[in-house]
Amino acid sequence: MAKIDEVKAMVEAGKTKLVPGLVQEALDEGSAAKDILQGMVDSMSVVGDKFSTGEIFVPEMLMAAKAMAKGVDVLKPLMAGDSSNSLGTCIIGTVAGDLHDIGKNLVSMMIESAGFTMVDLGVDVPADRWIEAIKENQNVTLVACSGLLTTTMPALKEAVQTIKGSGLPGFKVIVGGAPVTQEFATEIGADGFAPDAGSAAVKAVELVKN
Amino acid sequence: MLTKRQNLLETIRGGNPDRFVNQYEFMNLIMEVPMGVEFNYGKIWKDQWGITWNWPEGQLGMFPVHDAEHTVIKDITEWKKYLTIPVVPTSDEAWGPAIAHANSVDRREEYVTGLKIPGIFEMTHHLMGVENALMALYEEPEAMREFIDALTQYELEWAKVMIEKIHPDCLFHHDDWGSQKSTFISPEMFEEFLLPAYKKIYGYYKANGVELIVHHSDSYAASLVPFMIDMGIDIWQGVMTTNNTPELIKQYGGRISFMGQLDSGPIDFPGWTPELVAREVEKVCKECGKLYFIPNLTQGLNFSSFPGVYDAVSKEVDKISKEIF
């Protein structure tokens, strides 16, 4: 098995202690940092699919993301200034009036694993704070708004409509959360919707590449 | 006409109930038991375990705070250093209101129901933060086992005192084990870490006069039902539609009963209407049938988040009973 394949397998298996060493071995063998990174991104895509289909659960997804993060730490010094693998910056948060963050954190982790730079605004984010964050950060290509309660669906609508109505260019808006459906996402003007963290990463990539 | 208690037993034993069990009617919840759980709307406070809670105004519930400063157990390998397990209160002063309430219940009609909120799994993530708690099951399984054992010992101590004080014949125990679509952890991991703890806890209650164990998890947990049966749960309260409850009733009816199926999200919300409630109650009662099923909002106590919904459900359950029975 080539070292990159070993890295991929161990990321998928969530082997946080083994991945950094394997990444170093892959580099020592002559693999390019960006190819190793892409291998790990591909692994996380598999992890996301397995989560979406119920084959794995939250702990397995967390462990895989942590394993990838450890691998990325080894690559970072070699990739400073190289943005060829980056899909841009994703601003993420939970909308005003909602303090839920578990789902949002999982989505953040998976979108980061897909190649985005994450800016997490946390929970209970008022509509105008999204706009500030888009202005404050470079190369924002995606804004991800989470809402977990039926009672915060109006706040989700307000956030999306404020963001879309701001006139700021260059990004797509994705929404999600327990009560959110594709119909609701379409109705409030979001560009995309995903039912879970695994498919959110897939959708995020699809949105910014198209 | 059967008493509430008799009707419940007919329903869960596959006998001849004369109506649907109407939501929580059979459980007289002794909310005065001194669990140390506080519900402080609009406030931030610290509980007896050191967990910081925040219940902002306008929110439906409270949230544990898990930033670096407030997370109680910062390193699972040193949980003993960080955790001070509270002492279960035993004084007459602490238990007086609960004892008085329990003594006032007509046990032929209703079950004197003791409570334990929250449960073992929830305590792990309240004390550690959910991501840390879930990853620790992989990264530090031994420490997690010890920590879960300590939480189990506390629950057993609580059980001992509560049984002595109010002699409950039913237990209502919370522990959310999933989201609406999936369990938080795999069935294999559940079997390894949580099943042994719950076998001890529920076994103790059953061995000490508690006839009925009602467990709340308003989630998907269909894949855990065999474990629920194994640990002694009689009624799973909070069962959501995502579990395919009619199928669960077919498969497991007689060994466990299912209470819920009226998902809070689409029913208990600001724009609810009596017509919506009537439609949903009729649908679930006809789908799930007379036995091993209790129509109920999936909410973990006998009220709704929005005024009127719980009572509207009760009214419709009575109405559909007249039609079906």
How far is residue B199's CA from residue B205's CA, in Å, rounded to a whole number? 10
pLDDT per residue rounded down to tens, chain B (325 residues): 999 999 999 999 999 999 999 999 999 999 999 999 999 999 999 999 999 999 988 888 899 999 999 999 999 999 999 999 999 999 999 999 999 999 999 999 999 999 999 999 999 999 999 999 999 999 999 999 999 999 999 999 999 999 999 999 999 999 999 999 999 999 999 999 999 999 999 999 999 999 999 999 999 999 999 999 999 999 999 999 999 999 999 999 999 999 999 999 999 999 999 999 999 999 999 999 999 999 999 999 999 999 999 999 999 999 999 999 9
> CB neighbours (10 Å) of residue A183?
9
Contact A99 B269 (CB under 8 A): no
Bridge partners (DSSP) of residue B44 are: B54
B189 touches chain A (CB under 8 A): yes
What is the phi/psi pair of residue B221, to 5°?
-160, 25
A141: helix, strand or coil:
strand
Closest CA to A71 of A15, A152, A124: A15
Partner-chain residue, chosen from B184, B265, B266, that has the shortest CB–CB distance to A57? B184
What is the spatial distance between Cα A43 and Cα A51, in angstroms, rounded to a whole number?
Answer: 12
* C-alpha span between B40 and B56 (Å, rounded): 9
**pLDDT value of position A206:** 95
Q: Is A190 within 8 Å of A157 (Cβ atoms)?
A: no
Backbone angles phi, psi at A129, to 5 degrees: -70, -35
| Number of helical (H) and strand (E) elements in chain B, helices listed first | 13, 10
Token match 């695994």: residue? A198
Give the CA diameter of chain B.
Answer: 60
pTM for the structure as a whole? 0.92
The pLDDT of residue B14 is: 98
Q: pLDDT band at A76, cuts 50/70/90?
A: confident
Residue B42 in contact with partner chain A when CB distance is under 8 A: no
Does residue B118 have a cis peptide bond before it, meaning omega lies within 30 degrees of 0? yes
pLDDT value, residue A178: 84
Q: What's the pLDDT at B83?
A: 97
Q: What is the mean pLDDT of residues A49-68?
A: 93
For chain B, report the end-to-end CA distance as a whole number of angstroms: 12
pLDDT greater than 60 at residue A93? yes
Rounded distance, CA B214 to CA B195, Å?
Answer: 16
Cα B160 to the center of its chain, rounded Å: 19
Tell whether the model's pLDDT for residue A83 goes beyond 70.
Answer: no
Nearest-neighbour CA in chain B from A92: distance (Å): 18
Radius of gyration of chain B (CA): 20
Residue A149: pLDDT over 90? no
Q: Which residue stretches of chain B are H helix?
A: 4-12, 79-82, 92-103, 120-128, 130-139, 141-166, 187-193, 195-207, 225-231, 245-252, 264-267, 274-288, 309-324
User: How far apart are the CA of A97 and the nearest CA of chain B, in angstroms?
Assistant: 7
Per-residue pLDDT at A103: 87
For the sheet with B44-46, list strands across it.
B44-46, B52-54, B63-64
Closest by Cβ to A66, choosing from B56, B135, B183: B135
Residues in chain B with CB shorter than 8 Å from the CB of A178 are 179-180, 265
Tokens of residue A175, six digits: 């929404």
pLDDT of residue B57: 86
Read off the pLDDT of residues A112-138 as tens digits, 9 standing for 90 and up.
989 999 999 999 999 999 999 999 999
